[in-house]
Amino acid sequence: MGLSLLSIVSKSNFRILKPKLLGNYIRTNKELVCPRYMSNYLRKIPVVTSKKYNIAVQKELSAINKLILRYKHSQKNENDGKNSDDPRNAMMIKIMMAIFTVYITVYIISMLLPNASNPEDMRYVSWNEFVHLMLAKGEVEEIIARPDLDIVTVRLHEGAIIKGRKIDQRTYHMNIADLERFEQKLREAETKLGIKPGHGVPVVYDRSLNAPELILFLILTGLLALAYFGRSKGASKSPISLDMFSQIKRAKYTLIDPLIGQGKGVRFKDVAGLKEAKQEVMEFVDYLKRPDHYKNLGAKVPKGALLLGPPGCGKTMLAKAVATESNVPFLSMNGSEFIEMIGGLGAARVRDLFKEGRKRSPCIIYIDEIDAIGRKRSSSGPEGGGDEGEQTLNQLLVEMDGIGSKEGVLMLASTNRADILDKALLRPGRFDRHILIDLPTLEERKEIFEQHLKIKLEKEPKHYSQKMAHLTPGFSGADIANVCNEAALHAARNSQKVVLEADLDYAVERVVGGTEKRSHAISPDEKKIVAYHEAGHALIGWLLPTTDALLKVTIVPRTNAALGFAQYTPTERYLLSKQALFEKMCLGLGGRVAESIVFNSITTGAQNDLDKVTKIANSQIRQYGMNDKVGLLSFPEDTKNSIRPYSNKLAALMETEVSRLVSDAYFNTEKLLKENYNKLELIAEELLRKESINYEEMVKLIGPPPNGEKRAVEVYEFNTPVDTKNTHSSKN
């Protein structure tokens, strides 16, 4: 233990108590091997009379004490894990649980459903069928009522005739809502049928769960429980152990502690991009390193931060980097790990997680996908907080309120569904900071590619990163990592020694459009239709001024059920004008219009295009206020259970305007394609011959775009000057 402590202290940055002095003392004093003498050693260091020096020494002694406690705690957890991870014990647990589960299941079924082994005996009839087809015909021998199941069993005579046929089935069942009135209702039916009192069908009451069987069931269950619960504490202790219940309630967190080398640490240099987000979380790092500086100024450090953003953008990695840079323990759990079928377990695990965090203070507690337990509480839910999810959320709110500044416990959480979180969770005092981690920009994608392009390349990663960043707008960090891995896999399948630029291009195309499906053979007529369809898309995008730059158009079938697609490199724009949205609709309709002009017929190939066009038109009318008749109104998207905040008359008007807008886009597209019909034929014939056309080949084929060359991505600096003279000259 002493030598392990030496390795830990050597990693720590103590300014006054030098690691060499501590190491020499540990080596020369063997009693330090025993943990209980460590605190005595810390008191033997001589104290200098200088007041400032003395205060500094005391602070560092306190830090070493905390370090020792953390090490002891980690050693205890390791020993507990070793004792509980015996494979023989694990196998015994599985066997006992299997026997226990099978026994209870079979026993309950055999008691409650004695005919369950024979499915033919489990036929049910209604009350009317029973009265008119069985009772009225005199075919009922007896009725067996089961009060514990609300079921009655109807037993017929041997050779009973139902609906004019002799049947072999003698037993039928009925579900009865009120067994207390069943016999009274039966006698009333017999009276109506002319059956005299005393000559009716006998009713026998059968209670399956009688006392002897119930006692036997409880005894056997108790014996199995004793055998299971007494397995881990040894013969010297009580055979009944509640260790299982404590294990169930314990929070199953992942611990990363940089100082004791537990877990893999991630630093800010490992997180590419996210410049603004890293600047915000650096305040938490600075607080954990210099808490006294903030306290002396009277500042209250935020208790927690909520990381928001789409999936795969680096929220979890950034949270780990905060813990590593701060040199404090990092306790991580997923939100779904709190949710269990057993009531109260979620709240118990929340309590245990924060209890462990306070033991390791200062530390960071991180909950990934917090929306699993932080959903909005429903006003129509069960009264008294009976819902398990609400109990877990309430406990989390209480624990976050209980985190005092002196405890040094910071709370981090991440979600991509911030809109469904409870307001009480988002208020200041719990999650004071909301940090947005959005999809990476061009420069950030370049950094991320340089981070992930550590595969064996033909040239340096910087040679490829700029181009790859241009080809992947809208990609998250996880998508970029997937592209790099796909490129390496493609090179390996081709038995290459290095990854080439063509492999990277293939990887981008695979992620965007799917894998080429050469085995999917289509007829020549269908191939011609697909060629003109894709040529229509490409030509409209080429002719209109605000559409994205064409990267590639192909008619090779894909594994995502697409017979062809046109790939564009979207410009990173944050505002779209009315003209830009209209031209997006024209681009989507290019394929359908081309089919109609060339073949004088239409196919189902434009279904996905029409879906996108309809959504764009709806958003203009219902959300963006871009229609004169509807006016400057904005309504949320309709959901299955939502109530429309407008009248039927306004809904009909909006539908009419959406249809009119789509029709205008269709006629505009039709006009453009008819005026450039020769170019449409050139593109389609080239596609039929080569199957794929890129930007440079398109320029050679039909000339440059009429509205000027389109850049794949337009890059602007933060302080780019604004032209105020031409502010009002742009078209809307």
Average pLDDT over residues 592-605: 92
- Give the least confident one: 1-10, 436-445, 447-456, 621-630: 1-10
| pLDDT tens digits along 681-707 | 999 999 999 888 888 888 899 988 888
Q: What mean pLDDT is predicted for residues 259-265? A: 60
Query: Taking a C-beta distance cutoff of 8 angstroms, is the pair 170, 118 a contact?
Result: no
Tell me the average pLDDT of the chain: 76
pLDDT of residue 649 exceeding 50, the answer is yes
Looking at per-residue pLDDT, the higher value among 188 and 594 belongs to 594
Phi, psi of 410 (to 5 degrees): -105, 145
pLDDT over 90 percentage in the chain: 16
User: Which tens digits make up the pLDDT trace of 505-519?
Assistant: 888 888 877 777 766
Residue 33 pLDDT: 42
Q: Please state the rounded mean pLDDT for residues 225-254.
A: 53
Per-residue pLDDT band at 283 (split at 50, 70, 90): confident
In this predicted structure, what is the pLDDT of residue 543?
92
pLDDT of residue 373: 87
Write down the H helix ranges in 453-500.
461-471, 477-493
Fold of 524-702: Methane Monooxygenase Hydroxylase; Chain G, domain 1 (1.20.58)
Examine the pLDDT at 243 and tell me if it is beyond 60: no
> What pLDDT is recorded for position 427?
85
Q: Looking at the predicted structure, is the pLDDT value of residue 729 above 70?
A: no
What DSSP character marks residue 565? E
Query: CA–CA separation, 116 vs 108, rounded Å?
Result: 11
- Give 313-332 pLDDT, tens digit per residue: 888 888 888 877 878 888 88
Task: Lowest mean pLDDT of 143-147, 242-246, 264-268, 485-489, name the range.
Answer: 242-246
- Reply yes or no on whether the pLDDT at 295 is more than 70: yes
Kindly tell me if the per-residue pLDDT of 210 is higher than 60: no
More confidently predicted of 582 and 174: 582
Q: State which of 89-93, 249-253, 340-344, 616-620 shows the largest mean pLDDT.
A: 616-620
Q: What pLDDT does 676 receive?
A: 93
Residue 178: per-residue pLDDT: 76
Whether the pLDDT of residue 2 is over 50: the answer is no
The pLDDT of residue 621 is above 90: yes
Omega prior to 362 cis, within 30 of 0? yes
Query: Which residues lie closer than 8 Å to 226 by C-beta, 6 or more apart?
Result: 239, 240
pLDDT of res. 718: 38
Show Cβ contacts of residue 5 under 8 Å, excluding neighbours closer than 6 positions. Answer: 26, 32, 38, 68, 71
Tokens 């063997």 -> residue: 30
pLDDT at 375: 84
Instruction: Say what the pLDDT of residue 3 is.
Output: 42
CB 60 within 8 A of CB 51: no
For 124, phi then psi, to 5°, come to -110, 145
Pull the structure tokens for residue 457: 């390349």
The 433-436 sheet, strands edge to edge: 254-256, 330-334, 363-368, 409-415, 304-308, 433-436
| pLDDT above 70 (res 347) | yes
Mean pLDDT of 529-539: 92
Q: Reply yes or no on domain 442-513 having CATH 1.10.8.60.
A: yes
- How far is 214 from 207, CA to CA, in rounded Å? 11
The one catalytic residue in 356, 486, 534, 657 is: 534
Q: Which residue has the higher pLDDT, 361 or 222?
A: 361
> Regarding predicted confidence, which is higher, 576 or 254?
576
The CATH code of domain 251-375+391-436 reads 3.40.50.300
Q: How confident is the model at residue 670 (pLDDT cuts 50, 70, 90)?
A: very high
Both tokens assigned to 238 = 């009580």
pLDDT (0 to 100) of residue 43: 45
- The tokens for 294 are 């903030």
How much is the pLDDT for 717? 42
pLDDT at 196: 80
pLDDT tens for each residue of 33-54: 444 444 444 444 444 445 555 5
Residue that wins the pLDDT comparison between 217 and 7: 217
Cα–Cα distance, 477 to 368 (Å, whole number): 17
Quick one: pLDDT band at residue 247, thresholds 50, 70, 90?
low
Confidence grade of residue 617 (pLDDT, cut at 50, 70, 90): very high
Q: What is the mean pLDDT of residues 649-667?
A: 94
Res 728 pLDDT > 50: no
What architecture (CATH level 2) is domain 127-205?
3-Layer(aba) Sandwich (3.40)
* Number of Cβ atoms within 10 Å of the Cβ of 390: 20
Global pTM exceeds 0.85? no
The domains of the chain are located at 127-205, 251-375+391-436, 442-513, 524-702
Could you tell me which residue, 66 or 404, shows the higher pLDDT?
66
Active site residue 383: no
- Cα 157 from Cα 318, distance rounded (Å): 76
Q: pLDDT class for 206, splitting at 50, 70, 90? A: confident
pLDDT digits (tens, 9 = 90+) for 157-181: 887 888 778 887 788 888 887 777 8
**pLDDT at res. 84:** 45
User: What value does the mean pLDDT take over residues 563-592?
Assistant: 85
